Amino acid sequence: MRHRRAGAISIVVDALEQFGIAYDIHFWLRCLSWLGLLSGALLLLRVSGGFPPQAWNLLLQAVPQIPHLLGMRGPVIILSLVALVVLSLTWLALWVILLWVSVAVVWHWWQKTGRGPILRCRSAQVYRALHKQHKRQTTTTGWQSSRHLTANRACNRVFGLEEASLDHSEYADTQRASAPTLVKSKRISEVSGGHVGIGWDAGIVRRFKPNEDSLAALRSTCTRNGRLLPFDLYIVADGMGGHSHGQEASRLAVQCMVRGVLSNILCSDQLGGEFLIETLVEGVQWANRAVHESSQTNGIDMGTTITSALIFDGTAYIVNVGDSRTYVYSASKGQLSQVTRDHSLVARLVEVGAISREQVYTHPDRNKVYRGLGEKGEVKVDWFTLPVQEGDYLLLCSDGLWEMVRDQEIECIMKQSVGDPARASAALVESALRGGGADNISVIVARAGG
C-alpha cells in the first residue's frame, strides 16, 4: 500500500512539474490558466452563496444552539449538523486549493520576471522534472541515464585523496590553493607541456565579484598488473545561488569528483568501460549529496552544474548535469561536435520546436536549468562514451563561454590553434570577453587522442 501511495504521489508530482514546463512554453496555456482560476473563483462564490460561504455562517450560528436543538428534536439533529460540517469543510478545502494555486502561479511569475529572490536557477524547481529521458544509442556516442547503471564493485572505496597514491599527477584547481598548478588570477594555465590548456576568467560584467566557476585538470598514471595505465580527468563546474554560495557549491563538486574518481580507479582491479562510467556517475552523485547537505545544513540556496571527462585507453567517458558542456573537436575532419546535452529550459524549447537553435543565445530564460547538483539528495546523470583518436581534442566549458561564443566560432578557433591547447583556451576566453563577458568563463582544451 505504501509503494502504491508513493507511486501515485510521484505521478502527480511529475504531472504538475510537466504542466509547469508547458505553462512556460505556451502563452495560450498561461492565459487559459488565469481564466480558469478566475472562473473557478466566480463559480465558488456563486455556488457557495458568496464569501464567506453560507454554510460557514449557518455552522457558526448552530454550534451555540446544539444543546437547545438536541432538547427540541433529539439525536436526529446530529445528522444535519454532520452534513453542515462536511459541507463547510468542503468549501474550506476548495478555497484553500484555489488560493494555493493562485499563489503558486504568482510566485512562478515573480521568479520568471527576475523579481524573485533567486535570479538564476532556483526557479529550476519548476523545470527539474522534464519528460523522462529514454535510452538512446547513436553511432558516435553511447548515452544513457544513470538509472540504467548497475552498482557492482569489487572493493569498498574510501573517498579521500590522502589514500590515492599516484605514480605521476599534475593537477590544476581554480579554488584549492594547495594544488600544484593553480589558476588563481585571470586567464590561462598550461598543464603537462602543452597537452592541456586552461582558461578561467570572471568575465567583464562580474569582474569585481568572485568567480563561481571551478575546474580541475588531472593527468595521472597508476600501475596495475605490472602495467603503466595513464588516464586523464577533466572537470568544469558552474556554481549557482549567489556569489559565495555558488563558489562553494562548485568547489565542493570538483573536490568530491576528484576524490571519488581517483580512489575508485586506484582501488579497482579491473578498469573496464562500465566500471569507469559508474565511477564518474557515482562521483557526481557524491558531489550532489555534498552540495545538497551543505545547502540544507546552512539553510541557503546553492547548486552547481558539472561536466566531466575521463580519458582512458582510447575512449573518453563523459558525464554532465546542467548546461556546462563538453565538445569534441576532430582535427582530421576540422569539425566541432557537442557531446553533452544541456539540461536547460531553452534546450527543451529547441527540442520541441518552440524556438530555433540561434534563439537560445538571446532567450530571456537561457540561464534557467531544470537539473543541477544540490537540489535534492539524488540527481539524474547523463553519460556518454566516445572513441578518440590522434588529432581529437576535448573542450569542456561553462555557459559563460558558449553563450558568448557561437559553436561556429569555437570551431574556427580550434582550427587555428590545432596542436596548441593553451593557445586555443586563451583565444576562447578572449573571444568570450569580446562577446560581452556576461558570465564567469571556464574552459579546458585537452588533447584526447595520441
pLDDT in tens, the chain (450 residues): 555 555 566 566 556 666 666 666 567 777 888 888 888 888 888 888 888 888 887 878 777 777 776 777 667 677 777 887 888 888 888 888 888 888 887 876 665 544 444 333 333 333 333 333 333 433 344 444 443 443 333 333 333 333 333 333 344 444 433 333 333 334 556 555 578 999 999 999 888 888 899 999 998 887 777 778 889 999 999 998 665 688 999 999 999 999 999 988 888 777 888 999 999 999 999 999 999 999 998 888 899 999 999 999 899 999 999 999 999 999 999 999 999 999 998 888 888 888 888 888 888 877 788 999 998 899 999 999 999 998 999 999 999 999 999 999 999 999 999 889 999 999 999 999 999 998 999 999 999 876
What's the rounded Cα separation, in Å, for the pair 228 and 230?
Answer: 6
- Is the separation of the CB atoms in 189 and 427 below 8 Å? no
- 3-class SS of residue 31: helix
What's the rounded Cα separation, in Å, for the pair 332 and 261?
Answer: 31
Domains of the chain: 2-112 (no CATH), 141-447 (3.60.40.10)
- 3-class SS of residue 28: helix
Q: How far from chain centre, in Å, is Cα 175?
A: 21
- 3-class SS of residue 243: helix
Strand partners, 397: 325, 443
Which string of b and e fits 144-153 if b means at least 16 CB within 10 Å? bbbeeeeeee
Residue with cell 598550461: 190
Which strands sit side by side in the sheet containing 188-191, from one edge to the other? 188-191, 196-201, 441-447, 392-397, 325-330, 335-338
What's the rounded Cα separation, in Å, for the pair 237 and 216?
Answer: 9
- Nearest by Cα to 409 from 420, 395, 419: 395
What's the rounded Cα separation, in Å, for the pair 292 and 198?
Answer: 28
Residue with cell 445528522: 79
- Nearest by Cα to 371 from 324, 311, 425, 310: 324
Q: Record the pTM.
A: 0.63
When computed from its CA atoms, the radius of gyration of the chain, rounded to whole angstroms, is 27
- Nearest by Cα to 251 from 430, 381, 374: 374
Prior bond of 387 cis (ω within 30°) = no
Question: What are the backbone angles phi and psi of residue 48, rounded to the nearest 5°?
Answer: -85, -5
C-alpha cell at 427: 583565444
Q: What is the DSSP string of 176-229?
A: -TTSSEE--SSSEEEETTTTEEEEEE--STTTTS---EEEEEEEEEEEETTEEE
- Is the separation of the CB atoms in 304 and 237 below 8 Å? yes
What's the rounded Cα separation, in Å, for the pair 212 and 367?
Answer: 14
Cβ atoms within 10 Å of 138's Cβ, excluding its own = 8
What's the rounded Cα separation, in Å, for the pair 32 and 270?
Answer: 57
